[in-house]
Structure 1
Amino acid sequence: MKKHDQDFMKRQNRLTVFEIIKNQQPISRASIAKQTGMSPTTVSRIVGELTEQGYLLDSDQVSSGLGRKSTLIAMVDASVLSVGVELDRSLMNVGIVDLQGKLLCGRQYPRIPDESVDKTLDRVNEAIEQLTQQHVIDRTRIVGIGVGLPGIVNNEEGIVVFSVQLGWKNVALAKRLKELTGFEIAVDNELKVRALAEHLKGAAVGSVRTALLGFGQGVGSAMILEGEIYRGVMNSAGEIGHTTVDPNGMMCECGKAGCLQTYINISSLLSEANRIRPIRTIEELFEAKDAGEHWAVHLIERALMYMAITINNVVCMYNPDSVILSGELVDKFPDIYEAVEKLYLSRFTWEPLRGSFSIHRSMLNENGVVIGSGLLSQNRFFALD
């Protein structure tokens, strides 16, 4: 038991040192020791190991100020790479991410909504092969694959418990993708990995309590509380799209009536639009709205109203200091963000909480899930190493 505790502490110390260097580089060994309370000998040993493994290097810079000058340490950004994958109803997004969360290369692919699990995973494997060959990526530097997708995910076991958008239930995704690719696999809910990316590299940097909301093929949220993603018992915290707003309302694809997302998500908007005239895409619906067709104006304005109501409900429940709007609707139509912020929030935000939070658009846009999935894979690698 004592040896187990010692091994755990060594891994934690290693991860702590690595994260400090990653986030504060270039930095001296003395500064790391001061921040962590570790002895200079321990810090030097860990830095030596990470340098020997090719993760770190001594930079050309030296520390300033009085006293003995010391060489600063920096990351070798390409020393560790990971694959980030986003799976959604009608798209697949695959990219290679470096240690700083930079997307080195990536590509989006169309996906058939009822595509089988095996077919999707085969295409993920093919996409990784194409990217590594076309961009001359050293596969030995890839430490794993992270996958973000909509629905309830057992992130510890890598099992997709239930995804309405993909039509998957109890899919052992991590096991099957590892057998196919040979890489270690991390799987999580798409908004949780997007929140991780925004927290580390985007609009939530410096925030203590952040609510990220996604509006697109579905409606959902993710919470970062005190720097940690709030998961709940089943990792399903934030599934606000399936909260009931009208028990006599429209049928949701989950099989329940009156879910919040039936008033906002893309498939529901298109379904209602087609009761008036054929509308194939969300872009066509917005064109009809911009042309002044009253039925289209009504559908979009109602969706904006429910977006504002969603923000108010989340703010009332979690009292965040910042709210980030993300997802296909916000990414494709920036006017949505401005309309919700300027026209609707003042009507629906509970008065005592007005001004208590800032509201932002996602800084990472359509690459947020890929970057977050890649960073999730890296975090898993360094935690276990």
Structure 2
Amino acid sequence: MKKIVKHDQDVTKQHNKQMILDIIKKQRPISRAEITKITKMSATSIGRFVSELCEEGFIRETNLTSSGLGRKAVMLDIEPGAIYSIGVDIEKKRISFGLMDFSETVTVYRRVDYQAQKSTPEETAELICCEIRAMVEEQNLPSEKVIGIGIGVPGVINYEQGIVQFSATLGWKNVAFAKMIEAELQIKTVIDNDLKVKILSEYLYGSAKGSNKTALIGIGTGIGSALIINGEVFRGGSNSAGELGHTTLDPNGNLCDCGKRGCLQTYVDENSLIMEARRVSEITDVRQVYAAARNNERWAKEIVWRTALYIGITINNIVCMYNPDTVILSGELIENYREIVDLVEEHSEQVIWEPFRGTFKVIPSELRGDGIVMGAGALAMQHFAPLAGRLSEE
């Protein structure tokens, strides 16, 4: 019985300590007295936990003091250099890296041109490990301060086991990618679908801040979506929720590389826009379509107009299913042709089912190309930060 009681006491202590650290992270700088008011714990308990967190290097006293009447109180802040995580974004034509400190600020970015589809998973893992080693060495970081790596990967991901079950973008199937990285670097690694990682970053740092239920649509070399509800990413039964690209628009429509006809991505992804443009022009890159549309060339404007219509239909489908308060548009199409957001809004007036009109907002991503790196770094920080790790083990 005594052992059980002590175990319960230890768990409660760790939860309270994590709660205090979270309060300091979110409301910094903050005084001990303010933490006492928020938690309703005794000043003695708060003082003890704060002392422990200071000794462990997670927080520090600042030069700031509280304002107002009475005795001035020293303010507390986190120590940004206490621990670090690394975020990685694997795209079709490049891999991006970011070093995130404990304040959840990405202090270093790196990007490498690289086509993972033309390489084996082992070669890709080797490149990622080399880049991470170089980044850590350049910053003179002790290896023990890097507590985890998060990786955003396009495709269907077994999030709990760190396996890429299927990625058409990379050409991978049943690849235990997290273990490859961990075995080489001896750093804990978590991988997830790239859009699920991105919506986490939008919720924490970007367009979805303050939203209770946000849907994100990513449009580029493929099309997908993600949903976050009260801070929790909606995953579905096998972490496959959000595979919009293979929803059917027309069963007799365009042939998709998945073998079906009429998949949504055959109407709105980059390849489909290029193929349509080639009927009238020698196009080799989708950005040429956008340039022609900005130049008021009729064929290009027609392609963009129709793409906006399909995106509007997609938004209607998502809104009817999930009733979000915010829909974020992201991906290379939005980044390279921002004007399409206004076109989507125009179409939405016609294609959104009337009961849902005016119940949500459609906005472009604030984080653009950095969102996945930031979300992957945050995902690793959430998983592997020392206190969070101890709590999950209990």
Give the TM interval when normalised to the shorter protein. Answer: over 0.9
2:66 match: 63
1:169 match: 173
1:27 match: 30
Taking a change above 3 Å as real, the CA distance of residues 8 and 241 of structure 1, as seen in their structure-2 partners, is: farther
| Amino acid across the alignment from 1:130 | A
1:238 match: 242
Deviation of 1:171 (Å): 1.2
Corresponding residue SS for 1:210: strand
Deviations 1:287-342 (A, max 9, x none): 3334455443333222111111111211121111112111111112211223223x
Are 1:160 and 2:164 counterparts? yes
Among candidates 279, 292, 296, match of residue 283 of structure 2: 279
Counterparts in 2 of 1:158-197, with a 5 A limit? Answer: 158-197=162-201
Deviation of 1:136 (Å): 4.2
Corresponding residue SS for 2:118: coil
Please say if residues 212 and 324 of structure 1, whose CA atoms lie closer than 8 Å, have aligned partners that are also in contact.
Answer: yes
Corresponding residue SS for 1:77: coil
1:204 match: 208
Deviation of 1:378 (Å): 0.5
Structure 1 CA distance, aligned partners of 2:236 and 2:11?
A: 25
| Amino acid across the alignment from 1:328 | E
Taking a change above 3 Å as real, the CA distance of residues 152 and 46 of structure 1, as seen in their structure-2 partners, is: farther
Deviations 1:54-96 (A, max 9, x none): 1110112222344544322101112221111001222211111
Are 1:366 and 2:369 counterparts? yes
Structure 2 CA distance, aligned partners of 1:54 and 1:262?
A: 52
Deviation of 1:196 (Å): 1.0
Corresponding residue SS for 1:205: coil
Moved more, 24-33 or 275-284: 275-284
Deviation of 1:44 (Å): 2.8
Are 1:82 and 2:112 counterparts? no
Structure 2 CA distance, aligned partners of 1:212 and 1:314?
A: 10
Q: Under a length normalisation based on structure 1, what TM-score does the superposition of the two structures give?
A: 0.93
Structure 1 CA distance, aligned partners of 2:278 and 2:48?
A: 65
Structure 1 CA distance, aligned partners of 2:356 and 2:340?
A: 22
2:107 match: 104
Structure 1 CA distance, aligned partners of 2:160 and 2:12?
A: 21
Deviation of 1:135 (Å): 4.4
Please say if residues 77 and 100 of structure 1, whose CA atoms lie closer than 8 Å, have aligned partners that are also in contact.
Answer: yes
Are 1:377 and 2:380 counterparts? yes
Structure 2 CA distance, aligned partners of 1:33 and 1:156?
A: 37
| Amino acid across the alignment from 1:166 | L
Please say if residues 101 and 201 of structure 1, whose CA atoms lie closer than 8 Å, have aligned partners that are also in contact.
Answer: no
Deviation of 1:4 (Å): 5.0
| Amino acid across the alignment from 1:141 | K
Moved more, 101-110 or 271-280: 271-280
Deviation of 1:277 (Å): 4.5
Deviation of 1:7 (Å): 4.3
Among candidates 134, 150, 174, match of residue 130 of structure 1: 134
Structure 1 CA distance, aligned partners of 2:234 and 2:70?
A: 44
Please say if residues 219 and 330 of structure 2, whose CA atoms lie closer than 8 Å, have aligned partners that are also in contact.
Answer: yes
1:94 match: 97
Deviations 1:100-124 (A, max 9, x none): 3322111222222332101111111
Deviations 1:181-217 (A, max 9, x none): 1111011111111111111111111111111111112
Are 1:149 and 2:153 counterparts? yes
Structure 1 CA distance, aligned partners of 2:274 and 2:185?
A: 37
Please say if residues 91 and 108 of structure 1, whose CA atoms lie closer than 8 Å, have aligned partners that are also in contact.
Answer: yes
Please say if residues 106 and 131 of structure 1, whose CA atoms lie closer than 8 Å, have aligned partners that are also in contact.
Answer: no
- Identical amino acids, percent of aligned pairs: 42
Among candidates 265, 275, 279, match of residue 261 of structure 1: 265
Deviation of 1:6 (Å): 4.2
* Structure 2: tracts of 5 or more residues without a match: none
Among candidates 212, 216, 221, match of residue 220 of structure 2: 216
| Amino acid across the alignment from 2:361 | S
Corresponding residue SS for 2:339: helix
Structure 2 CA distance, aligned partners of 1:6 and 1:216?
A: 51
Corresponding residue SS for 2:169: coil
| Amino acid across the alignment from 1:80 | I
Taking a change above 3 Å as real, the CA distance of residues 336 and 78 of structure 1, as seen in their structure-2 partners, is: farther
Moved more, 44-53 or 198-207: 44-53
Deviation of 1:225 (Å): 0.8
* Structure 1: tracts of 5 or more residues without a match: none
| Amino acid across the alignment from 1:380 | H
Deviations 1:154-191 (A, max 9, x none): 22211112222112121111111101111110111111
Taking a change above 3 Å as real, the CA distance of residues 381 and 354 of structure 1, as seen in their structure-2 partners, is: same
Structure 1 CA distance, aligned partners of 2:41 and 2:264?
A: 50
| Amino acid across the alignment from 1:174 | A
Structure 1 CA distance, aligned partners of 2:277 and 2:113?
A: 23
Moved more, 264-273 or 309-318: 264-273
Taking a change above 3 Å as real, the CA distance of residues 239 and 119 of structure 1, as seen in their structure-2 partners, is: same
Taking a change above 3 Å as real, the CA distance of residues 63 and 265 of structure 1, as seen in their structure-2 partners, is: same
Structure 1 CA distance, aligned partners of 2:167 and 2:41?
A: 44
1:327 match: 331
| Amino acid across the alignment from 1:379 | Q
RMSD of aligned alpha carbons: 2.1
Please say if residues 214 and 220 of structure 1, whose CA atoms lie closer than 8 Å, have aligned partners that are also in contact.
Answer: yes
Q: Under a length normalisation based on structure 2, what TM-score does the superposition of the two structures give?
A: 0.91
